[in-house]
Amino acid sequence: MQQYKPLVLAFIGDASYNLYIKRKIIDSYIKVNDLQKQTAIYCSARFQAKLTKHLIENNMISESELLIFKQARNQKSHNAPKNTDILTYKTSTGFEAVWGYWYLNDDQNRMDEVWEIIKTIQE
């Protein structure tokens, strides 16, 4: 597999995470009117930062995943966050990089494992 820079992993992770979440929400038979609202919760920087904190505090992330997270989180970004503070934005960027890593490595089991955790975390 080609080695990607941390922010490229985050870019890939953002797209694949959004699609993954949307498919899971659709599969859960939520009313059509609630699809966007539910997706917006799980795909927000705030929720992703909360999820990442949970994963790290509960030792649910490997050393290699933590390294990817930190590399992406610590990258200089040319985008300023619009709806959140910079720390939350950088934390969510780190999470998206890890998700991108799982996606590129076709680690469906890991993504499904995190989905089960996502369902237990309330916004």
| Cα(5)–Cα(94) distance, integer angstroms | 12
Catalytic residue, candidates 14, 34, 85, 112: 14
Distance of CA 116 to the CA centre of its chain: 14
Percentage helix, strand, coil for the chain under 3-state DSSP, each rounded to 5: 70, 0, 30
* CA atoms lying within 13 Å on the CB side of residue 51: 30
The reply to whether 27 belongs to the active site is no
On whether the CB atoms of residues 75 and 121 are closer than 8 A, the answer is: no
Contact between 104 and 18 under an 8 Å Cβ cutoff? The reply is no
- Residues marked active site are found at 14
